[in-house]
Amino acid sequence: MFNFDPERYLRMQQGAVAGAHEASAIVGTVLSQGIDRIVFLGAGGAGLLMMPAVKLLQTTTTFPTYLEYPAEIIHTGSVNVGPKTLVVIPSRSGTTLESVAALNWAKEQGATTMTLVGDRNTPLGQNADYAVENFVEDDTSCESFYIQALGIVFAIQSAAGVGPSLQDSLAGLNGLPAALLSAKEQIEPRARTIAQYIASKDYHIITGSGSMWPEAFYYSMCILEEMQWIRTRPIHASDFFHGTLELVEPGVSMILFKGEDDTRLLMDRVESFANKYTDNIEILDTKDIELEGVNELLRGQISHAVMSALLERVSAHLEDIREHPLTTRRYYNRVSY
């Protein structure tokens, strides 16, 4: 595979699985201590990566589950954050300013705090009540956060008596690193063609549904916009027919992310429309990927992580084609804002 180290990838995703086990144990502990709600506070892309876990908890349990913007909540406050709240803050760097401020605010409200960080020796790693550490870098962080968040979900589902046993659910994650590596190998022959397509346009409408929507939003905002300076219009499939459809005409690019949860029909509807009104469509579908050792239930729960693994291969080729490294920024961490 182009510009890729398989051993490094496996090591980081195995760390993510270990982190899921650790996070699950922490959640079990705090639930036994009386925690009765959970609030996810992640800045930017890290917050988006928590959305599938939030949705899964909201659709399978009655456990009060919320997702908030850290930069906003410190100004507005929230009645949902208090002594019986577990606040979860993901941050690869462990230094994100908005997240550090949110951690301090949550502690002032008496909440129990848990961070998911790449380095424990950072403000978010040192100052939380619990910190789960897994060293990852930008090209491996999505799957890591997705997997660790599932550990949190499984612990709450188990306490609610939902789904398989906690032991079985966590055991199901153990084969994921190898399966995700295989997914990358499967997309590699097509990855450069997809990257060439993306590079040939200066604007893309990108859509997804269910757990694929956060990945569509993330790839639009954090990769194509932040890292490649390509203009995008991320739109949830549920909202596509309430405005964005009017932008579609021959020549307009649409990129569709299709997953394997119960919302797939929404994407089928968008795909049917797109095929009628534009001649520029790229579809990535995790259903086309073989995931040996991953059961059908888990496939639906981790299709967003699979898509992230596929898209990293596209991004590796995209930066090469455009001669624009993914690390190049104009403003991020370069100017004051």
Per-residue pLDDT of the chain (337 residues; tens, 9 = 90+): 999 999 999 999 999 999 999 999 999 999 999 999 999 999 999 999 999 999 999 999 999 999 999 999 999 999 999 999 999 999 999 999 999 999 999 999 999 999 999 999 999 999 999 999 999 999 999 999 999 999 999 999 999 999 999 999 999 999 999 999 999 999 999 999 999 999 999 999 999 999 999 999 999 999 999 999 999 999 999 999 999 999 999 999 999 999 999 999 999 999 999 999 999 999 999 999 999 999 988 999 999 999 999 999 999 999 999 999 999 999 988 998 8
H/E run at residue 171: helix 166-173
The CATH number given to 6-172 is 3.40.50.10490
- Cα dihedral across residues 166, 169, 174, 180: positive or negative: negative
Tokens for 90? 């993901």
Instruction: Give the domain ranges of the chain.
Output: 6-172, 176-322
Identical fold for domains 6-172 and 176-322, yes or no, is yes
Instruction: Please give the sequence-ordered ranges of beta strands (E in DSSP) within the chain, or none if there are none.
Output: 37-41, 65-68, 85-91, 112-117, 130-133, 203-208, 231-236, 253-258, 280-285
For residues 311 and 188, give the distance between their C-alpha atoms in angstroms, rounded to a whole number: 10
Judge whether 60 and 19 are in contact, CB under 8 Å. Answer: no
Q: What is the CATH architecture of 176-322?
A: 3-Layer(aba) Sandwich (3.40)
Q: CB under 8 Å to 60, separation ≥6 — which residues?
A: 157, 160, 162, 163
Identify the pLDDT of residue 61.
98
For residues 33 and 55, give the distance between their C-alpha atoms in angstroms, rounded to a whole number: 24
DSSP state of 130: E
Judge whether 85 and 38 are in contact, CB under 8 Å. Answer: yes
